A and B are shown apart, each in its own frame.
Chain A
Amino acid sequence: MKAAGNEIRYNLTLGGDLCTGRVEVTREVLTCFEDGEQARVVAFSDVQEFLLRGENGSVSLEYKDAEGHFRILCRSTMEHRNLFAEVVRLLNLYKKNGDFPEDLQVAGTAKCPKCGAKLPRPDSVCMKCVDKKKVFARFVQLALPYKKYLIGSAVFFLLAAAVGLLGPYVSKVLVDHYIRNSEMQALVQSAPGQVAAGFVAVVLSMLGVYLLNEVVNILRNITIMQAAVRISVRLRENVFEKVHSMSLSQISRRTAGELIQRVGQDTQDVQAFIVYEIPNIFGQVLLLLAIAGVMLAYDWRLFLIVILPMPIAIAAMRGFHHKVRKLYGQQWRAGSRAGNVLFDIFSGIRVVKSYGTEDREAERYGSAAGEERQIAVRNEVFWAKVSPFIRFSLTLGTYFLLYYTGKKILGGTMTIGEATMFTSYVSLIYGPIQWLTRIPTALARAVTALVRLFDVLDETPEVADTEAAKDVEIEGTITFDHVSFGYDPTSEVLKDISFEIHPGEMIGLVGHSGVGKSTLINLVMRLYDVTEGEIRIDGTDIRTFSQESLRSQVGAVLQETFLFAGSVYDNLRYAKPTATRDEIIRAAKIAGAHEFICKLPQGYQTRVGEKGQTLSGGERQRIAIARALLRDPKILILDEATASLDTETEKQIQDALQILIQDRTTIAIAHRLSTLRNATRIFVLDKGGLAEVGTHEELLAKKGIYHDLVMAQRSMSRIGGK
């Protein structure tokens, strides 16, 4: 009966020691083997439910036995976490529906199918195996609309290289014809005007070459910048739009820093690659080839003399580059740490002052700044000691060249002008060589940035509109049908919840912190999709609604109201950009916000700080209510809308809320249970499930969890009253 590959691998014993373990899974039993020995056997008939528990650095696959006792099947380090989560889901499905899982081992693995390297998420791209050619092909696609700028800049790079070659040649003419020419003395006597004119012509040619070089460089920089900025801005816009289309759970998997890095730094890296590297591919390579060609044409030995010390110079440059990156990376991080400490102290300056801990904070900053100073001094000493050697290794070829050309000049087979020209070419050749040593790092950096960007751009939104998604007019019936949900595979927040809310009802949602109240309302707004079951509004699965249509009819007033940087007016209009000023004033009046807004120095056009810090908590909440009013939602969500306010302000806000909830389906979360007294029904959540449902009076009479919560709060307020 055992299916091929139907086993679960794990690597810790029950005691927590490392082992080589596997669970053989048949339709009847689960048999654990550790280091080849049978360790335990569990019959499916003895299992009620499988569970997953994550610890710090390990994870365990557990089950509830027939008597309801927790038992452990196997334990593993974290690399098997996703696998275990999927296995638990499949084994529970087997218990429930009898669908026997055929290949457990491949379930939930986050590995690259090609090289086997671990990936942070199952849908991540393996940076090692990603087809770089394809990445660049996509990049070319992206750059194609700007090809005229790219071709233009390539032409200017070629021109710059050609002009660069002219300089040393003009120097040679100057030296050989006018400075070291023995016949020139006689010519100066006989035809001074002719000599002077020739000399001026050569000098003017040098000046002309210099000016031409500068002009070409300016034009080159302008055209390449035009292309680079356009491409990177387009990329940035694409990524930004994509991030917005992701579900909250997809966004939450990445830190804010990571997303900012994607939008900001990675597009910057791509821009840098376009500006500094792509045109160089034409310019620098051509310059290198041209110089090599000129040298070979004159004397192949000369070419060898210049080329032979190159490996030493390249090795020195690469080693130096690596070391410098290491040292300055440390210095940058130390500087950043010191900056963070400073930011931290200034952000919390009120606390610092009130606790009188200025000296302690000064010491903390002093220590961070001291570390930065120490690293900076060490780096500067290193730089001072090593850079002369690097410069020397770079110019090593010149000494060989001097010796060789000197010998040839003395032997009369080379002119001083030619020697000057070669020396100039040698100094020119180091530019492209230096660039070539940098190219692998630049390429790797660009590929990394591009792959990361494409990774975001290619991600399929988890909460996405189906093709048949439709815009609907909501009436307000909300149905939860056996809904389960967990943010993390190791823990289910809501388990098998079913209920129905009728249009116009006001539902109070209560329960201990962390029980899943906010999660439940996030599901109503479809910020996440349910793991199992279905949420229906007016009898239709909300996954068939267009998200825009759903959310435009759901209004939310949360505990903390975020105000964007801008005016009060902008923040109110955020809910309904088409609202007229009359509408906005009316909404603000109902919400009790109009009065305080008028007292602000610039009325509705007063700018509120980055987080609206110039307004009090109560004022911010009033703005939130006005926003919700403007939106005129069919479903209203109040998540601890008055929790952070004082009693008097809370009373005023509650009055405003009473206006807001009229004729709307409302779900309100509140810790202060007295604010839910008027609720049509109260839902009590406990241990992820719906424990009690009823009116305030019914639930009090029931003397269950709600009763205990109310009693606990009453005794708290009595203590507060004393």
Chain B
Amino acid sequence: MEEKQKKDGLSGIVDVTWLTKDNASFCDDEGFLSMDMGEEHYDRVLLSRCFPFDEPETHISVTDCEMKEIGLIRDLQELSEESREACRTELSRKYFTREILSIEKIKERYGFTHWDVTTASGKKSFSVQDTYRSITKITPDHLLVYDVDGNVYEIMSVDALPRKSYRHLELYL
């Protein structure tokens, strides 16, 4: 016990249930994620990234429908191949974002900016209110843009954007 506490000062005080392929399996079931843990079957579990900006596949909290935590996944790699894929599907459903590849136009009108962009899934137009506050810088190069509806758009690298796209965006950085 003493040795354990030396490793991690808090591990002796609080227990964390780490979910791995040895104690948990996940399955995508008609749009929901279900989980088996030992004898226990959960019809539906919900996933939440603890560090959504930096660690998309590690430190993932698994809760039941009442948001009571069942356990944590330290790394999706610690799950079986099938469980991993099921969890990835659930995470991409929950954290639905479109990646912006280029910006064709940003037009400012009456307090809103209207964006015409090309995303990984095709062309898209959307409006942003209070543009400066609707852009979150994860790093100076990695941005999230929130539109008026609450949709999230991701710019993986501002530097990698085409020069013209950068010029449109520059004003709001």
Residues of A bordering B, CB below 8 Å: 12, 14-16, 18, 55-58, 60, 69-72, 75, 77-79, 81, 117-120, 127-128, 258, 326, 329-330, 333, 444, 447-448, 451-452, 687
B110 & A448 in contact (Cβ 8 Å cutoff): yes
A14 & B30 in contact (Cβ 8 Å cutoff): yes
For B96, give its contact among A16, A70, A117 (CB under 8 Å): A16
With contacts A15-B28, A120-B129, A333-B132 taken as known, whether A127 is within 8 angstroms of B112 at the C-beta atoms is: yes
Shortest Cβ distance from residue B95 to the other chain A in the assembled complex, whole angstroms: 5
- Contact mask B44-56 → A, CB, 8 Å, 1/0? 1000000010000
For A60, give its contact among B31, B109, B127, B171 (CB under 8 Å): B31
For A117, give its contact among B89, B111, B127, B150 (CB under 8 Å): B127
A77 & B151 in contact (Cβ 8 Å cutoff): yes
5 chain-A/chain-B pairs, Cβ below 8 angstroms: A12-B93, A14-B30, A55-B93, A71-B30, A128-B109
Report the separation of the CA atoms of residues A117 and B148 in the bound assembly, to the nearest whole angstrom. 11
Residues of the B chain whose Cβ atoms lie less than 8 Å from the Cβ of A687: 66
In this assembly, does B160 line the interface, its C-beta being within 8 Å of a C-beta of chain A?
A: no
B127 & A15 in contact (Cβ 8 Å cutoff): no
Shortest Cβ distance from residue B65 to the other chain A in the assembled complex, whole angstroms: 7
Residues of the A chain whose Cβ atoms lie less than 8 Å from the Cβ of B93: 12, 15-16, 55, 58, 75
Apart from A16-B96, A75-B93, A127-B112: 16 A-B pairs, beta carbons within 8 A: A12-B93, A15-B28, A16-B93, A55-B93, A55-B95, A55-B96, A57-B97, A70-B44, A72-B31, A78-B149, A78-B150, A127-B109, A128-B109, A333-B132, A448-B110, A687-B66
Which residue from chain A places its CB closest to the CB of B171 in the assembled complex? A326
- Contact mask B135-173 → A, CB, 8 Å, 1/0? 000000000000111111000000000000000001101
In this assembly, does B82 line the interface, its C-beta being within 8 Å of a C-beta of chain A?
A: no
Interface residues of B in 78-122 (CB under 8 A from A): 89, 92-97, 109-112, 121
In this assembly, does B36 line the interface, its C-beta being within 8 Å of a C-beta of chain A?
A: no
Which residue from chain B places its CB closest to the CB of A15 in the assembled complex? B89
B89 & A16 in contact (Cβ 8 Å cutoff): yes
In this assembly, does B18 line the interface, its C-beta being within 8 Å of a C-beta of chain A?
A: no
Residues of the B chain whose Cβ atoms lie less than 8 Å from the Cβ of A79: 149, 151
User: 9 closest A-B pairs (Cβ-Cβ)?
Assistant: A127-B110, A14-B31, A16-B93, A57-B96, A72-B31, A78-B150, A58-B96, A78-B149, A57-B152
Residues of the B chain whose Cβ atoms lie less than 8 Å from the Cβ of A444: 109-110
Report the separation of the CA atoms of residues A70 and B111 in the bound assembly, to the nearest whole angstrom. 41
B32 & A16 in contact (Cβ 8 Å cutoff): no
Report the separation of the CA atoms of residues A329 and B173 in the bound assembly, to the nearest whole angstrom. 10
Residues of the B chain whose Cβ atoms lie less than 8 Å from the Cβ of A451: 110
Which residue from chain A places its CB closest to the CB of B173 in the assembled complex? A330
Which residue from chain A places its CB closest to the CB of B66 in the assembled complex? A687
A interface, by DSSP: helix, strand, loop or mixed? mixed
Residues of the B chain whose Cβ atoms lie less than 8 Å from the Cβ of A56: 52, 94-96, 152
Residues of the B chain whose Cβ atoms lie less than 8 Å from the Cβ of A258: 130
A55 & B94 in contact (Cβ 8 Å cutoff): yes
* Residue of B95, B110, B130, B148 with most partner-chain A CB within 10 A: B110
Residues of the B chain whose Cβ atoms lie less than 8 Å from the Cβ of A128: 109-110
Number of interface residues of B (CB under 8 A): 35
B65 & A12 in contact (Cβ 8 Å cutoff): no
Residues of the B chain whose Cβ atoms lie less than 8 Å from the Cβ of A120: 129, 148
Residues of the B chain whose Cβ atoms lie less than 8 Å from the Cβ of A329: 171
Report the separation of the CA atoms of residues A258 and B111 in the bound assembly, to the nearest whole angstrom. 12
Residues of the A chain whose Cβ atoms lie less than 8 Å from the Cβ of B149: 77-79, 81, 118
Report the separation of the CA atoms of residues A340 and B43 in the bound assembly, to the nearest whole angstrom. 47
B32 & A72 in contact (Cβ 8 Å cutoff): yes
A127 & B111 in contact (Cβ 8 Å cutoff): yes
Report the separation of the CA atoms of residues A531 and B151 in the bound assembly, to the nearest whole angstrom. 26
Residues of the A chain whose Cβ atoms lie less than 8 Å from the Cβ of B151: 57, 77-79
Which residue from chain B places its CB closest to the CB of A67 in the assembled complex? B43
With contacts A16-B89, A56-B94, A60-B31 taken as known, whether A118 is within 8 angstroms of B148 at the C-beta atoms is: yes
Report the separation of the CA atoms of residues A75 and B111 in the bound assembly, to the nearest whole angstrom. 31
Report the separation of the CA atoms of residues A171 and B70 in the bound assembly, to the nearest whole angstrom. 90
Shortest Cβ distance from residue B60 to the other chain A in the assembled complex, whole angstroms: 13
Report the separation of the CA atoms of residues A448 and B111 in the bound assembly, to the nearest whole angstrom. 7
Shortest Cβ distance from residue A172 to the other chain B in the assembled complex, whole angstroms: 46
Report the separation of the CA atoms of residues A60 and B46 in the bound assembly, to the nearest whole angstrom. 13
Shortest Cβ distance from residue A255 to the other chain B in the assembled complex, whole angstroms: 8
Report the separation of the CA atoms of residues A30 and B149 in the bound assembly, to the nearest whole angstrom. 26
Residues of the B chain whose Cβ atoms lie less than 8 Å from the Cβ of A72: 30-32
Residues of the B chain whose Cβ atoms lie less than 8 Å from the Cβ of A326: 170-171
Report the separation of the CA atoms of residues A460 and B90 in the bound assembly, to the nearest whole angstrom. 41
Report the separation of the CA atoms of residues A57 and B89 in the bound assembly, to the nearest whole angstrom. 14
Residues of the B chain whose Cβ atoms lie less than 8 Å from the Cβ of A448: 110-111
B112 & A58 in contact (Cβ 8 Å cutoff): no
Report the separation of the CA atoms of residues A330 and B172 in the bound assembly, to the nearest whole angstrom. 8
Residues of the A chain whose Cβ atoms lie less than 8 Å from the Cβ of B92: 16
Shortest Cβ distance from residue A116 to the other chain B in the assembled complex, whole angstroms: 11
For B32, give its contact among A70, A81, A330 (CB under 8 Å): A70
Report the separation of the CA atoms of residues A330 and B127 in the bound assembly, to the nearest whole angstrom. 21
* Residue of A57, A72, A78, A333 with most partner-chain B CB within 10 A: A57
B31 & A15 in contact (Cβ 8 Å cutoff): yes
Residues of the B chain whose Cβ atoms lie less than 8 Å from the Cβ of A118: 126-127, 148-149
Report the separation of the CA atoms of residues A191 and B148 in the bound assembly, to the nearest whole angstrom. 82
* Residue of A18, A58, A72, A451 with most partner-chain B CB within 10 A: A58
B31 & A447 in contact (Cβ 8 Å cutoff): no
Residues of the A chain whose Cβ atoms lie less than 8 Å from the Cβ of B150: 57, 78, 81
Residues of the B chain whose Cβ atoms lie less than 8 Å from the Cβ of A78: 147, 149-151
Report the separation of the CA atoms of residues A687 and B111 in the bound assembly, to the nearest whole angstrom. 40
Report the separation of the CA atoms of residues A77 and B43 in the bound assembly, to the nearest whole angstrom. 24
Shortest Cβ distance from residue B135 to the other chain A in the assembled complex, whole angstroms: 11
A70 & B43 in contact (Cβ 8 Å cutoff): yes
Which residue from chain B places its CB closest to the CB of A68 in the assembled complex? B43
Interface residues of B in 60-79 (CB under 8 A from A): 65-66
Report the separation of the CA atoms of residues A444 and B92 in the bound assembly, to the nearest whole angstrom. 41
Which residue from chain A places its CB closest to the CB of B97 in the assembled complex? A57
